[in-house]
Amino acid sequence: MENIEVTVIGGDISLAERQAYIERGKNNKPNMILTAIKVELDGDFADITYQYADPPQDMTVSIGGCMIGKFGSFNHGKQAEYLDRIPNDLN
């Protein structure tokens, strides 16, 4: 499995369920690196918290097909815009 720490509190989950949570975390923010997941079980409910690593500061970023610079040079608004974007499926 990948180097993603999965912590389960209040019970246990199957390997298939762990993998499903990992895939969900990756799909929710495909531009970020998933590092850890915390699953808190409460009966039939699961409260899931995802933890992501910041992108490398020297990463050159493309938004809308245009190279716009290094991630570390962006202000907080532009960083948030990049991290919240949803890439299209057309390649």
List the chain pLDDT tens, one digit each, 91 residues: 468 999 999 999 999 999 999 999 988 887 778 899 999 999 889 899 999 887 666 666 666 666 667 767 777 887 787 777 766 665 5
For residue 61, what are its two tokens? 């970023």
The pTM of the full predicted model, rounded to 2 decimals, is 0.61
Instruction: Report the distance separating Cα 8 and Cα 1, nearest Å.
Output: 16
Res 56: pLDDT:
66
